[in-house]
Structure 1
Amino acid sequence: MPRWFNTAGPCRADHHYMLPALRRLPEVLPLIGQESYFVLHAPRQVGKTTALRALAEELTASGRYAALHVSCEEGEAAGDDFAEAQRAILSRIRRSAEIYLPAELHPPPFPPSPDISLLGTALAAWARVCPRPLVLFFDEIDALRGQSLLNVLRQLRSGYSDRPTAFPASVVLCGLRDVRDYKVTTDSRGHLGTSSPFNIKVESLTLRNFTRDEVEELYQQHTHDTGQVFLPEAIDRAFYWTQGQPWLVNALARQMVEKLVPDRGQALTAAHVDAAKEILLRRQDTHLDSLAERLREPRVRRILEPLLAGLALGEVPADDLRFVQDLGLVRLAPAGGLEVANPLYREVIPRVLANTAFASLPPQSITWLRADGRLDTERLMEAFLAFWRQHGQPLLGTAPYHEIAPHLVLMAFLHRVANGGGTLEREYAIGTGRMDLCLRHGPDTLALELKVWRDGEKDPLEDGLVQLDGYLAGLGLDSGWLVIFDRRTGQPPIAERTRAVAATTSTGRRVTVVRA
């Protein structure tokens, strides 16, 4: 059977291109050997379930353990009904054991027990009769909520001292977040905030992304099977966009080999990677959708809004910062400072935030293209000024992040241009006070620097010209736009103050300064 790049569910070596699942978890086997209880947390679609299933199979095959991967997702619907949640988990344990464990390792009939201790009683009974030490991987543990979650954690803690003869020898809780961030209520504030009631954990591990060499190793499996070559430039470009995020690595390859270049005799290039990236951004498949859902959470917004606006973080709770890192949305840059986890997320986050503004755009004739299809930047400027004067003020209210509302509306306008056959790329970083946009349309490139003039600050024109000059130099351009959004109080209406004037940088580059 031919293998393929998997973007849905756990990987199987006989079906999918995949790397050794345990390579990224070297710490796990020693912890299990020490009969430890610990936490493994990582963002969605990085291979947690694949790794845990492979580890459970390996441990059981070794003859030393009875190891089982169990999903707690079925218990989510029970909410605070802890008895029902436990019954759902126990049912999943029995089904999984019947599928993945030899008959002699199956759990016995679960004994009767009070509702509050169904899980602990069942695990204790299983551990007593099982001929090997039990190792259980509770995946999607953070799908449980409220009293159901607390009840499960407390039972695991209570049975910990009875291991290994009368309780599982090792238990691994696996989910999106560390145990302190498990939700115990239905609102956004209800988090444990501490490792108790699972304070028996000895480690909190995470699963790293692929390295550049591992991306090459994965892609080479396709070359080995089909003969289709990924050029080094394609591998470099795929790693640039994804920074090794496993789902993105697979999703880019899948688009390339199945949709863009199905001819196995044609080599895959960096341009194919860029085209695949645009397809993913437009489609916003399940993984990207799940990220989008997070963007409106207050804990996420407190980090991302200043990051996107180029502002300093200010006083934000350390738990919020760790939470957004655990979700895989941001990371600490090697040179210090916070940044979006990879360039593809850097593209998709503002695009998702601008969706409402884009959907709210009024109909507009495409006047910014010449007869030969080339981009006419002067006509584009005229179209933008007219659009902003008429629609800027009401559209600002559609933006979910107030600090970058004008940025999002401008990006929505430019997406209309890009969707006609181009791309829109963004650069932003904590503390820079700026956002850079690069609109590419065929052979034409337009660079824009976005600044905000806030109360108590000086006119950002001078700094903006210097920053734009550097941005243009990096792109090899001799002209661009500097857009200054005046957010000071007491200003005239947008329709009255929006205008464009010519300026020149210190190195002689031509700039159109838009006051909006």
Structure 2
Amino acid sequence: MRKFSSYGPVDRDIHYHAPREELIESAYIQLVGEHPEKGGHYITVWAPRQAGKTWIMQQTLRRIREQGDFEVGIISMQSARKIGSEERILELFVRRLREWFERELPDIRTWDMLRSVFSEPFFSKPVILIIDEFDALREDFINSFANEFRDMHIMRKNETEKPSGEKSCLLHGLALIGVRSVLGIENVSGSPFNIQRSLRIPNLTYDEVGKMFGWYEKESGQKVEPDVVEKLFYETRGQPGLVSWFGELLTETYNKTPEKPVTMRHFDYAFRMAVKALPNNNIINIISKAKEEPCRETVLKFFRTDQKTGFAFDDPLLNFLYMNGVIDTEETDDDLYVRFSSPFVQKRLFNYFSRELFPEVGRVTELFEDLSDTLTTDGLHVGSLVRRYEKYLRKNRDWLLRDAPRRKDLRVFEAVYHFNLYEYLRRFLGNKNARVWPEFPTGNGTIDLIIDYEGTRYGLELKSYSDERAYRESLGQAARYGKSLGLSVIWLVVFVEHIPDEYRKKYETDHIDGETGVTVRPVFAATGG
């Protein structure tokens, strides 16, 4: 029976996978060419880590090889990451080719000798080469390779009267696989590789994820409830490595009763462990990119709730975060915005930053303090809880926010207060038969905290006050989210530097949403600066 696997390229014979036939067909046509006798294309294949780049190209290679008209190879430049000399890079490149094609090839010492490798008598048929981990190379080496490949491509194009197998250079098609597209190379002389096409590997679709689990059901006899597949796809947005990892957690690691269906209860447990306790190389890599400056400040801005961040591919930081799977894009009718690559990634980053910024939150209640206004006989009074937080923040603000990240105007980043409230609630409710966790229903501009206390669920939507219009819009947004949770009441926690008593009285009144029927209860949290 097959298994789910998130460790390197999947094996078609032993792992559950999505066939991705249309993507493989696209790669095949680009490398072989629409008119093979005229030559193929030189392409870059890019996507964040664990997106299935290598596997797609392995399947493409298999298909080309079956055709028999080309010599086709795939090599990796992963081990070139720490090589600093041109001579050693060229030596490694030729050695990898010798190992794959199992033949003698000439030693090359300079870049202009690279073309001689792809010629007679070393090859007798047109060559299609796939280079994996191409962006492991140092930037100047990438540029040098790209320049030579560009010259080869132009030379072949100039020999229009010759069929592909008789051209001076036999490199018919080329694929460079990496996290980023060679389109993004910075080169003072202009793009050295402007002859290539770019193939991005997208996430899995909902249908592809569903078919993978349907395959598992058929082989194992164990049913996976539809809600599980739907929630898994929502949390991962179809990122291939994460889909397979959760598949492994659900069907192996935490599958204690394989004779019974996999339910949402099983998913919730596996998901909590994935958020809090389990290492994942993809997530470790994403956090490592997001936590270091200058990315750290940019990522913290993405958690703001008063406005979205516009996306621009030409912005170096946004480009870097996009290429490395930290963020994705959200398209509207009139613009393109940043969103986190998936809710699961956003939760892991939220947890990381909240703990990193507030490893200690101090005393959240006093000894023998009367909590009956908050922990009532009817349940949890969120309004009183936020008042307590406001007093706590006012009392501890100086030391608590001493080292907090700040904007250029020296104000604390808005998201810092959200992280702090989350950690405060976790400590306050930690031993009271309660659980607190963040949700991000849009991936951009909305943060919600969900509290389960004594069998009742409470929803808190967090917003920062910017103006009257945005506040009114947030009431409707909170109501719609409350309805999606099945709640008749939801709390809107609005952060603001200061709020006079008369405005607090004006705004802190229940709003019954006409569209959903949900009651929204606003409560303001004054941060004091």
TM-score normalised according to structure 2 size: 0.78
Structure-2 residue corresponding to 1:178: 181
Secondary structure of 2:29 counterpart: helix
Instruction: Kindly report which structure 2 residues correspond to 1:189-228, keeping only aligned pairs within 5 A, or say none.
Output: 191-192=186-187, 196-201=191-196, 203-228=197-222
- Give the one of 99, 103, 109 matched to 1:107: 103
- Give the one of 496, 510, 513 matched to 1:505: 510
Structure 1 residues 292 and 66: alpha-carbon distance in aligned structure 2, compared to 1, 3 A threshold: same
Structure 1 residues 88 and 409: alpha-carbon distance in aligned structure 2, compared to 1, 3 A threshold: farther
Structure-2 residue corresponding to 1:54: 59
Instruction: Kindly report which structure 2 residues correspond to 1:99-498, keeping only aligned pairs within 5 A, or say none.
Output: 105-111=101-107, 113-117=108-112, 119-121=114-116, 123-125=117-119, 128-160=121-153, 161-162=155-156, 165=167, 166-182=169-185, 191-192=186-187, 196-201=191-196, 203-282=197-276, 283-295=278-290, 296=292, 298=294, 302=298, 305-306=301-302, 308-313=304-309, 318-320=314-316, 321=318, 323-328=320-325, 329-333=327-331, 337-338=336-337, 339-362=339-362, 377=382, 380-381=385-386, 384-385=389-390, 387-396=392-401, 397-399=403-405, 402-416=413-427, 422-427=435-440, 435-441=447-453, 443-453=455-465, 467-487=477-497
Residue 47 of structure 1: CA displacement?
A: 0.6
Q: Is the CA contact 1:41–1:178 (under 8 Å) kept in the aligned structure 2?
A: yes
Residue 205 of structure 1: CA displacement?
A: 1.1
Bigger shift: residues 243-252 or 384-393: 384-393
Paired-residue identity, %: 21
Aligned AA for 2:92?
A
Aligned AA for 1:93?
L
Q: Is the CA contact 1:233–1:270 (under 8 Å) kept in the aligned structure 2?
A: yes
Q: Is the CA contact 2:510–2:520 (under 8 Å) kept in the aligned structure 1?
A: yes
Residue 108 of structure 1: CA displacement?
A: 1.7
Structure 1 residues 443 and 82: alpha-carbon distance in aligned structure 2, compared to 1, 3 A threshold: farther
Residue 267 of structure 1: CA displacement?
A: 0.6
Q: Is the CA contact 1:211–1:244 (under 8 Å) kept in the aligned structure 2?
A: yes
Q: Is the CA contact 2:32–2:172 (under 8 Å) kept in the aligned structure 1?
A: no
- Work out the CA distance in 2 between the residues paired with 1:22 and 1:362: 56
Structure 1 residues 398 and 418: alpha-carbon distance in aligned structure 2, compared to 1, 3 A threshold: farther
| Structural RMSD (CA) | 3.8
Aligned AA for 2:265?
A
TM-score normalised according to structure 1 size: 0.80
Aligned AA for 2:68?
G
Structure-2 residue corresponding to 1:5: 4
Secondary structure of 1:27 counterpart: helix
- Work out the CA distance in 2 between the residues paired with 1:300 and 1:220: 40
Structure 1: runs of 5 or more not aligned: 98-104, 183-190, 493-498
Aligned AA for 1:82?
E
Residue 211 of structure 1: CA displacement?
A: 1.7
Secondary structure of 2:438 counterpart: strand
| Residues paired across the two proteins, number | 484
Q: Is the CA contact 2:45–2:178 (under 8 Å) kept in the aligned structure 1?
A: yes
Structure 1 residues 461 and 114: alpha-carbon distance in aligned structure 2, compared to 1, 3 A threshold: closer
1:140-195 CA distances to partner (integer Å, 9 max, x unpaired)? 1111113222222122222222575534211111111111324xxxxxxxx44997
Aligned AA for 2:307?
L
Q: Is the CA contact 2:493–2:522 (under 8 Å) kept in the aligned structure 1?
A: no
- Work out the CA distance in 2 between the residues paired with 1:418 and 1:285: 29
- Give the one of 76, 81, 86 matched to 1:71: 76
- Work out the CA distance in 2 between the residues paired with 1:261 and 1:210: 24
- Work out the CA distance in 1 between the residues paired with 2:406 and 2:281: 21
Secondary structure of 1:330 counterpart: strand
Aligned AA for 2:144?
N
Structure 2: runs of 5 or more not aligned: 34-39, 157-163, 408-412, 513-518
1:61-119 CA distances to partner (integer Å, 9 max, x unpaired)? 3322221121111111014x222222233333333x1xxxxxxx5332323x3344464
Secondary structure of 1:230 counterpart: coil
Q: Is the CA contact 1:66–1:133 (under 8 Å) kept in the aligned structure 2?
A: yes
Q: Is the CA contact 2:250–2:270 (under 8 Å) kept in the aligned structure 1?
A: yes
Structure 1 residues 315 and 150: alpha-carbon distance in aligned structure 2, compared to 1, 3 A threshold: closer
- Work out the CA distance in 2 between the residues paired with 1:87 and 1:419: 59
